[in-house]
Structure 1
């Protein structure tokens, strides 16, 4: 027989050793590849929640932050600004914020915020991504003779009211987005975290 001189124990040992060494080599070769799948520290920071002190934010003023590469606006609205919100409903495309992708459920109300006086919006026009200008003055404007304050996008003339709701007849298809956010206390807000979950 051809197999009479073959040491089967040694063959098994060499086969097992080859499999173990080959498996270890494959694992070592995979480590750099697996490391590339983990987000870098810079990417983790870019997606991390952002906390801001709002104690000095005066009525009618705006703070601009960066979160996930987007501008986020925090605006302290005056009682006069809030009073204009119900008067604009007939001029708006989506006055009730029916699109659930535009804001978390806790901001689906007339003022589109947790606290009526504090508005939090992603400052990017929903048409082509320009950044609208903050136009809080309640005076006639060349682009709207009935202007009651809000946001105007100079790129293609889209307009949004003081709750970030889009007007009818403009290129922007939807309201400005409200990002996840929560209040840590009366003076600090955190962008990127929902209040009920504690997570983004």
Structure 2
């Protein structure tokens, strides 16, 4: 059979080039299509609930989980820390009974918690959004006399007790926010969801 002047090398090149261009085009179409299945930045910012395992959180320790792009602190308070928090003189605090609605109804009172030994707070100062430092030791020299332990904002000097209640005469106007949360078990906290919304 005669090849009638067909260049087989050229034919293979054209078939190969067409295959490569077709593959690149298919990938170019598929990538945006598959990416559209991912949650949008807006949906991620809205924040789905997050799970925190507190089984290894020792007494006195603090752990941080991220919810809605914000740090959420979970502290395992000791009996002594609970007592010190309950004993803070109300006249030292702006909102000692947590009457300003910055927490769910189940997290009011002096401890602002579902379980007294576990504190859950958004780790952002209510003044200008800095992240306060965890200073749980009572009467720490740098914190002054009668310091019950809590949080100190290094940006402008705001102070909060171990329940996130703000002290008087500091720039922060309100307590630290308690996010919605619930216990899935003794060791698992779901931040961003409470019993009503679960």
Alignment correspondent of 1:98: 99
**How far, CA to CA, are the matches of 2:76 and 2:86 in structure 1?**
18
**How far, CA to CA, are the matches of 2:75 and 2:167 in structure 1?**
19
**How far, CA to CA, are the matches of 2:91 and 2:117 in structure 1?**
22
Question: Matches of residues 130-169 of structure 1 in structure 2 within 5 Å?
Answer: 130-169=130-169
The Cα offsets for residues 141-183 of structure 1, whole Å up to 9 and x where unpaired, read as 3342211100000100000001000000000000000000000
**How far, CA to CA, are the matches of 1:50 and 1:42 in structure 2?**
17
**How far, CA to CA, are the matches of 1:188 and 1:67 in structure 2?**
15
Alignment TM-score, normalising by the size of structure 1: 0.76
Structure 2 residues not aligned, in runs of 5+ = 1-35
**How far, CA to CA, are the matches of 2:73 and 2:195 in structure 1?**
18
- The count of corresponding residues between Structure 1 and Structure 2 is 161
- 1:84 aligned counterpart, secondary structure: helix
**How far, CA to CA, are the matches of 1:140 and 1:50 in structure 2?**
33
**How far, CA to CA, are the matches of 2:83 and 2:123 in structure 1?**
22
Matched, 1:48 2:55: no
**How far, CA to CA, are the matches of 1:187 and 1:167 in structure 2?**
31
Alignment correspondent of 1:11: none
**How far, CA to CA, are the matches of 1:171 and 1:52 in structure 2?**
31
- 1:81 aligned counterpart, secondary structure: helix
Alignment correspondent of 1:5: none
**8 A Cα contact 2:122 2:176, kept in partner:** yes
Tell me how far 1:42 sits from its aligned partner.
4.5
Alignment correspondent of 2:191: 191
**How far, CA to CA, are the matches of 1:124 and 1:142 in structure 2?**
21
Tell me how far 1:85 sits from its aligned partner.
1.7
Tell me how far 1:87 sits from its aligned partner.
2.0
Matched, 1:107 2:77: no
Tell me how far 1:108 sits from its aligned partner.
1.0
**How far, CA to CA, are the matches of 2:143 and 2:60 in structure 1?**
21
**How far, CA to CA, are the matches of 1:180 and 1:188 in structure 2?**
14
